[in-house]
Structure 1
Amino acid sequence: MMISLFDQFVSPKLLGISLIFIALLVPLMFFQNSLPRLTNNRISTTQTWLINRFINQLLSPLNIGGHKWALLFTSLILFILSINLLGLLPYTFTPTTQLSMNLGFAMPLWLATVISGMLNQPTASLGHLLPEGTPTLLIPVLVIIETISLFIRPLALGVRLTANLTAGHLLIQLISTAVFVMSSMMPMVALVTSTVLVLLSILEIAVAMIQAYVFVLLLSLYLQENI
């Protein structure tokens, strides 16, 4: 029995072993690999077409130096998207509702973009800390503000993904509990609430897809500033 609504965000365990590793590995089974000896079927062809469209749209603002990140960004969005969507199924666990995991994604990737900028174009990277034409008296203040905003980026990435998914799961849990309770007392109200639950579930599917795209899109924007 679930004591708290937030118990659904605790990683399930079997024989004392956390099952989060299974939740992280399951998405790999849903993507087909093209083999040279086999003719691609419709699913793999559609998958390849969608990935190519995504990469073209994501990397179009970047110069040639940023195109080497294409494989990393593609793998990341497919991984996060799969986890988000699978977490909407009953009796499943969504690892991306854990802030620690999202920060584990955000921190190294953000740091990689910063280090890449410092190595390739240190002057331009440091120039982002001070906008051109800043009055002399405001220079120390703006440098401090821009430095804080730079270091808060990975935290914002992780918190945004965690908060959006957690809020959606909580709403679904609350409304589904209300439908269960009212089904015997107020059937008509429960029916209307069930309609809201279905619409909310569809919205949550869209949120799961959009948040995966936004996470990778923001990383590409951070990379754009450092290449």
Structure 2
Amino acid sequence: MLLIKVVLIVMEFQLKFKVNEHLYLKDPENSEIGKAIVKNSIELIHEMGFENFTFRKLALKIGSTEATIYRYFSSKHKLLTYILNWYWSYLEFISKFRLSEINEPKDKIEKLLNIITHHEDYENNIEDYDLRKLHDIVISESSKSYLVKDVDEINKEMVFSPLKSLCNFIGEIIIQAKPDFPYPKSFASTLLETSHNQHFFSEHLPRLTDNDVERKGHKKYVLDYLRFITFTLIK
């Protein structure tokens, strides 16, 4: 189960997510060095990409040793999945929070599309994690968490539960808007993956998209595209 601690002060909130214990050897949230490992891994993966990211480079950045990092995470794949799990948990929380005062299902879907494309920027930093950099990592690196040979074995440890939970929530909103829609979870996961792929293509391989970059930014293009396919199916 996802454990969330929320402290609301005016319009600011602090979030604590309990990430699947199979992803770490020692909970990084329980120490300053653990938090530094997660925070700086986000910085480095964003800067150099997951392929070039190593525990040696991370150790140099935080002024520690590789052995210390290995006491928290057994591999960089588990560290990436840990970061992504935190992000999926955050995205589900913020979606429920923002949709809680919206009654019309199609208005909820509109808000969801804005959230998953980050077209509306909310808080830039939560728990010292840079959300904009996290979003960039999700766009370019998230598929590397599950497009691996041993995904079935990894899945048995339920480490993808936050992503599944987010898709299930989006699917529930789709059903509210169109009760007879036959593929709510499939469409929910398609929306998430499409938002990442089209943003990446728009930014790096624009001829794989229909975006006029001079007229639209990447986020605006992806949002418009998701709106088109969503509301064409859900009338």
Name the TM-score, length of structure 1 as normaliser. Answer: 0.32
Choose between structure 1 and 2: higher helix proportion.
1
Name the TM-score, length of structure 2 as normaliser. Answer: 0.31
Between structure 1 and structure 2, the one with the greater Rg is: 1
Higher relative contact order (CA 8 A, sep 6+): 1
Choose between structure 1 and 2: higher strand proportion.
2
